[in-house]
């Protein structure tokens, strides 16, 4: 569909998302009229394509792509991901409930948790195919809950990667994983409770565009796995990055090359160790990020200290990533009128009572005025999933564009009644 002109979208790459058909049969303004803003809009075809790309990484019959539900747990999206043949990981009872709602069966769910209590371990053990714990102390807790049971252990390969120190989850400066120096204690804890170690997993961190650290850590994991005979599952974790700077022509992760190198590692391991189990990767962002554009409305414009501030309803309660990690998201502009717009340096902010409530700083984009619609690209992973009711604002609605171009609501916006419902009278 080509509803919006190039200049209208303010695109500096070839074409903006509206022109590329992202919004199906609708214009951004029509979606906003029907559903209001803030609104996360998802495109089913893009979601399916990302699932297929990762499934195509290896032809090994025991290769599984396990979607990491924490990136986006909307059950309507989870249902599509399941239809594409992915399994899923959960890390909380809430995620388990959403996966069940979406139709995932026990044998399609991995539980990868951190610092949880006995009741949660028991629940996970009952509802997931396998549970991975990530300290000797949690192995002992699991053993008390389920003596003689089957368990996986998350190990720390000492190699981390990620877009921010806050999401690097291996190496010295992290709470995650069992380090090699604790492997003796791990074996002792397994023995003490008669547990069978069925698998090892790791997760080096979130967002790599250079596959080297992931592959180095994968090599380490396979070497480690060889010293734990009888494993059935080896899970390498997620972290597959997407290009957030599309308008700067940022390159995609080279999956073809990754697949070749990864494939060589796992087939060599099968051959050498006689391993007949399964290999898992655990991507969240790669599957969910690019299938969503977050729409918001410009509500006010002003100058302060020489900066043009564009006020919107996209506070960090709606999209927290820029505030928490200084993350960059490309913006598109869908103007409310036909007036020509000059490219202008602007800082786009939200409606939350903190100075750090900045969505995009110093962006050269078409001059925004009240009533314009702003689109935030690549918002599907850790967007809605990290939204909150801070300032007692309402978490946003979500809509899905189907492959036939139609659109439907897949999560309603919170209501004031939702906010009040948790307080006893
Ligand atoms: N497996 C485990 C054990 C994880 O902790 C994570 C993410 C994943 C898989 C999926 O990682 P992905 O493929 O999505 O990179 N809120 C941050 C990202 C936090 C990632 C947490 N763990 C952000 O907005 O960038």
| Cα 278 to ligand 1 centroid, rounded to whole Å | 21
pLDDT tens digits for 343-373? 999 999 999 999 999 999 999 999 999 999 9
- Ligand 1: residues with CB < 6 A are 68, 70-71, 112, 167, 169, 203, 206-207, 237-240, 282-286, 321, 325, 381-382
170 and 308 share a domain? no
CATH number for 396: 2.40.37.10
CA 348 to CA 350: how far, in whole Å? 7
Residues 303 and 276 placed together within one structural domain of the fold: no
Give the total residue count for the chain.
425
Which tokens is 30 given? 């029509």
Strands 331-334 and 307-312, by their bridges, are unpaired
Ligand 1 center to 206 CA (angstroms): 5
Domain count across the chain: 2
Which residue's C-alpha comes closest to atom 22 of ligand 1?
206
Please, which residues have CB within 8 angstroms of residue 385's CB and are 6 or more apart in sequence?
A: 70, 71, 72, 73
Same domain, residue pair 271 and 301 = no
pLDDT of residue 9: 60
Same domain, 218 and 308: no
Shared domain for 275 and 368, answered yes or no, is no
Do 51 and 73 lie in one domain? The reply is yes
Q: Which of 289, 313, 336 is the last residue of a domain?
A: 289
Range of the domain at 383: 28-42+290-421
Q: Which of 9, 16, 353, 407 is catalytic?
A: 353
Q: Let me know if 113 is a catalytic residue.
A: no
Does 6 map to a domain? no
Residue with tokens 């303004």: 29
Q: Among 289, 323, 352, which residue terminates a domain?
A: 289
pLDDT in tens, 205-231: 999 999 999 999 999 999 999 999 999
Distance CA 203, CA 181 (A): 18
Domain for residue 252, yes or no? yes
- DSSP labels, 191-206: HHTT-EEEEEE---BS
Q: Whose CA is nearest to atom 8 of ligand 1?
A: 238
In a domain, 144, yes or no: yes
Say if residues 72 and 102 touch (Cβ distance below 8 Å).
no
Low-confidence ranges of the chain (pLDDT < 50): 1-8, 12
Q: Which atom in ligand 1 lies closest to the alpha carbon of residue 240?
A: 13
Q: Which of 274, 289, 304 is the last residue of a domain?
A: 289
For the chain, helix, strand, coil in percent to 5 are 35, 25, 45
> What CATH number does residue 146 fall under?
3.20.20.10
Helix 93-101, helix 75-83: angle, nearest 10: 60
Same domain, 153 and 256: yes
Q: Establish if 186 belongs to a structural domain.
A: yes
Provide the token pair at 125: 């053990």
197 and 211 inside one domain: yes
Residues 113 and 166 in one domain: yes
Tokens found for residue 192: 């003490």
Identify whether 9 is part of a domain: no
pTM comes to 0.96
Quote the CA–CA distance of 345 and 353 in Å, as a whole number: 23
* 259 and 301 fall within a common domain: no
One domain, residues 107 and 174 = yes
């Amino acid at each position: 569909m080509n509803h919006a002109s190039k200049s209208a979208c303010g695109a500096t790459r070839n074409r903006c998302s509206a022109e590329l058909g992202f919004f199906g049969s609708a214009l951004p303004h029509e979606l906003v009229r029907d559903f209001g803003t803030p609104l996360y809009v998802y495109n089913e075809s893009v979601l399916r394509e990302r699932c297929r790309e990762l499934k195509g990484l290896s032809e090994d019959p025991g290769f599984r792509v396990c979607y990491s539900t924490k990136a986006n747990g909307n059950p309507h999206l989870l249902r599509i991901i399941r239809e594409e043949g992915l399994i899923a990981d959960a890390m909380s009872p809430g995620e388990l409930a959403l996966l069940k709602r979406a139709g995932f069966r026990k044998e399609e769910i991995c539980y990868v948790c951190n610092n949880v209590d006995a009741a949660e371990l028991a629940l996970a053990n009952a509802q997931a195919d396998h549970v991975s714990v990530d300290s000797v102390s949690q192995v002992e807790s699991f053993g008390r809950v389920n003596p003689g049971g089957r368990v996986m252990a998350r190990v720390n390969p000492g190699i981390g990667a990620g877009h921010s120190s806050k999401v690097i989850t291996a190496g010295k400066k992290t709470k995650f994983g069992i380090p090699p120096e604790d492997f003796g204690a791990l074996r002792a804890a397994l023995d003490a409770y008669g547990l069978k170690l069925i698998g090892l997993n790791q997760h080096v961190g979130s967002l790599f565009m250079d596959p080297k650290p992931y592959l180095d850590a994968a090599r380490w994991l396979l070497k480690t796995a060889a010293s734990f005979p009888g494993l059935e599952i080896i899970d390498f974790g997620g972290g597959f990055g997407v290009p957030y700077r599309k308008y700067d022509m940022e390159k995609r992760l080279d999956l073809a090359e990754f697949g070749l190198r990864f494939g060589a590692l796992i087939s060599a391991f099968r051959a050498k160790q006689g391993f007949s189990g399964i290999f898992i990767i655990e991507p969240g962002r790669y599957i969910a990020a690019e299938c969503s554009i977050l729409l918001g409305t410009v509500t006010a414009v002003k100058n302060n200290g020489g900066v043009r501030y564009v006020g919107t309803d996209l506070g960090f309660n709606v999209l927290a990533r820029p505030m928490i990690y200084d993350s960059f998201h490309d913006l598109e502009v869908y103007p409310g009128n036909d007036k020509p717009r000059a490219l202008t340096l602007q800082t786009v902010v939200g409606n939350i009572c903190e100075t750090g409530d900045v969505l995009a700083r110093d962006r050269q984009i078409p001059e925004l005025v009240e009533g314009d619609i702003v689109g935030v690209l690549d918002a599907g992973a850790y967007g809605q999933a990290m939204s909150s009711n801070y300032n007692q604002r309402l978490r946003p609605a979500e809509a899905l564009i189907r492959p036939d171009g139609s659109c439907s609501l897949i999560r309603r916006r919170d209501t004031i009644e939702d906010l009040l419902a948790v307080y006893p009278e």
